């Protein structure tokens, strides 16, 4: 499968061929939150928007705490591919599916207790929290499907099947959009309808995804071996801690807006969807970097690793410029069109320039995330995530009382700078681990 990996040149054309389906798939992923917000913006008020904002953060926190299922699967599959070990490629998928299903079932069973814990810290009004809990009660039924979907996504990325990944995300988000609109606009279920639509879409997409990855069930090695399963969990401990730190930072951002009032909470939630779209799109290049760097790491090919880092970052920068310009010049029209509540709309329009800067500021840390995930260097990711989260929270606590929502957004932008600096400190060590003591082939021409 991967025997020709080290000799096939990595070119800009190949990067784009891999990245474009991923970008489209990531854009489709981002539309889950965008559709939720747009439907509530059109058919609800600022209380409904605020409820969806809080509940979505809670669910993202619960689910992406286990985002290592996607991240580690991509890196481990790519490294097994680079080492030309097809059986291990299949084994990684099967272990990740088993683990995802078990963790998702645990979330569902423990959901009454989790609900009591996770909604307590939010400084939102009582009616907002009540609607957010209704969203949670409906959405949590999709937990096993969502986490198993992470395993499918990671395997498709690690094997370079980006076209199939796009199809998987289209099924998920297309189903979500149809059901959200029906449940809210047609049946009037409000935020609970948003949660139910997303949960059903997660199960539909899981069935489709299992069909896509059916080739990964052919052969496996020591699938139920306790030591291997334990090693999988232990190896992902650092990625889990890193993800929790970043999710906590985003939850802090939402709560900071809530502490300033429901209008600020709702307006920031609208802009957070812009941030999500840009992050998901630019993560497309980081995901390609994960695959290519994972293969290079598995084959101990330093030249290819460096080339993957350079080419994916060069092309991503061009997309960053386009996204930021689009937000500056078209973002206002989008907000005016899809947000009916005047208070939420005014907040979103006022702070749109801060949102448009996020892609420019965040590109470096998104790329670095891809580099370290492909090489499965969890310790660096963990330390950088914790450090940037702590500095961000300290910055927000300092700036928000003095500058209000300007301080909230300034601290949020700073978080990307801290992540970039922290990961950059570990980059030379990661590159050195790729090829210690090995002869490297010359870099291929563009």
Per-residue pLDDT of 189-242, as tens digits, reads: 877 888 888 899 999 999 999 999 988 787 766 666 676 666 566 657 788 888
d(Cα 320, Cα 362) in Å, to the nearest integer?
9
Residue 397 is predicted with a pLDDT of 96
pLDDT tens, position by position, 260-270: 988 888 888 88
Residue 227 is predicted with a pLDDT of 62
Tokens coding 422 = 């922290």
Contact 218, 90 (CB under 8 A): yes
Residue 8 is predicted with a pLDDT of 60
Residue 437 is predicted with a pLDDT of 39
d(Cα 237, Cα 301) in Å, to the nearest integer?
27
Note down the domain range covering 231. Answer: 12-434
Residue 445 is predicted with a pLDDT of 39
Contact 287, 279 (CB under 8 A): no
Task: Let me know if residue 262 belongs to a domain.
Answer: yes
Task: Let me know if residue 1 belongs to a domain.
Answer: no
Determine if the pTM surpasses 0.75.
no
Q: What is the separation, in whole angstroms, between the first and last Cα of the chain?
A: 24
pLDDT tens, position by position, 355-408: 999 999 999 988 898 888 878 787 888 899 999 999 999 999 999 999 999 999
Task: Let me know if residue 6 belongs to a domain.
Answer: no
Q: Is 218 exposed, middle or buried (0-12, 13-18, 19+ CB in 10 A)?
A: exposed
**Of the listed ranges 27-41, 172-186, 283-297, 328-342, the one predicted with least confidence:** 27-41
Burial 60-90 (b: 16+ CB within 10 A, else e): bbbbbbbbbbbbbbbbbbbbbbbbbbeebbb
Task: Let me know if residue 440 belongs to a domain.
Answer: no
Instruction: Report whether pLDDT(33) > 80.
Output: no
Task: Let me know if residue 446 belongs to a domain.
Answer: no
- For the chain, the domain total comes to 1
Task: Let me know if residue 2 belongs to a domain.
Answer: no
Task: Let me know if residue 443 belongs to a domain.
Answer: no
Mean pLDDT estimate for the chain: 81
Instruction: Report whether pLDDT(446) > 60.
Output: no
d(Cα 381, Cα 385) in Å, to the nearest integer?
6
- pLDDT band (50, 70, 90) for residue 444: very low
Q: Is 288 exposed, middle or buried (0-12, 13-18, 19+ CB in 10 A)?
A: buried
- 180 vs 202: which has the higher pLDDT: 202
- pLDDT band (50, 70, 90) for residue 290: confident
The residue whose two tokens read 């286990």 is 66
Task: Let me know if residue 333 belongs to a domain.
Answer: yes
Most confident of 81-85, 157-161, 249-253, 406-410: 406-410
């Amino acid at each position: 499968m991967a025997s020709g990996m080290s000799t096939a040149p990595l070119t800009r054309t190949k990067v784009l061929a891999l990245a474009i389906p991923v970008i489209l798939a990531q854009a489709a992923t981002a539309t889950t939150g965008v559709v939720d917000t747009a439907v509530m913006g059109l058919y609800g008020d600022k209380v409904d928007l605020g409820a969806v904002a809080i509940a979505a953060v809670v669910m993202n926190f619960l689910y992406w705490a286990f985002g290592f299922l996607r991240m580690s699967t991509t890196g481990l599959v790519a490294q097994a591919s680079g080492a030309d070990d097809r059986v291990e490629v299949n084994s990684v998928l099967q272990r990740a599916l088993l683990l995802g299903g078990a963790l998702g079932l645990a979330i569902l069973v423990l959901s009454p207790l989790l609900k009591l814990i996770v909604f307590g810290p939010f400084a939102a009004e009582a009616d907002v929290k009540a609607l957010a809990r209704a969203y949670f009660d409906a959405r949590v039924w999709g937990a096993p499907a969502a986490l198993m979907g992470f395993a499918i996504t990671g395997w498709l990325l690690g094997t370079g099947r980006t076209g199939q990944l796009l199809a998987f995300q289209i099924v998920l988000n297309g189903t979500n959009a149809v059901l959200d609109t029906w449940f809210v606009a047609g049946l009037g279920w409000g935020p609970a309808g948003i949660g139910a639509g997303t949960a059903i879409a997660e199960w539909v997409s899981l069935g489709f995804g299992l069909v896509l990855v059916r080739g990964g069930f052919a052969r496996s090695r020591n699938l139920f071996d306790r030591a291997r399963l334990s090693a999988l969990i232990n190896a992902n401990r650092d990625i889990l801690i890193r993800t929790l730190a970043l999710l906590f930072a985003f939850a802090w951002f939402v709560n900071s807006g809530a502490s300033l009032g429901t209008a600020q909470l709702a307006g920031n939630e609208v802009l957070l969807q812009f941030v999500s779209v840009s992050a998901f799109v630019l993560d497309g290049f980081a995901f390609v970097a994960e695959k290519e760097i994972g293969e290079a790491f598995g084959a101990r090919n330093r030249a290819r690793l460096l080339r993957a880092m350079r080419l994916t970052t060069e092309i991503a920068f061009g997309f960053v410029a386009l996204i930021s310009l689009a937000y500056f010049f078209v973002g206002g029209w989008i907000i005016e069109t899809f947000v009916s509540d005047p208070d939420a709309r005014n907040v979103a329009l006022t702070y749109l320039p801060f949102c448009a800067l996020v892609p420019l500021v965040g590109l470096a840390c998104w790329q670095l995330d891809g580099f370290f995930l492909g090489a499965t260097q969890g310790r660096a990711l963990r330390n950088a995530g914790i450090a940037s989260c702590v500095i961000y929270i300290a910055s927000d606590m300092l700036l928000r009382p003095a500058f209000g929502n300007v301080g909230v957004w300034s601290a949020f932008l700073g978080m990307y700078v801290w992540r970039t600096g922290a990961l950059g400190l570990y980059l030379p060590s990661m590159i050195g681990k790729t090829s210690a003591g090995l002869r490297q082939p010359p870099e291929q021409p563009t």
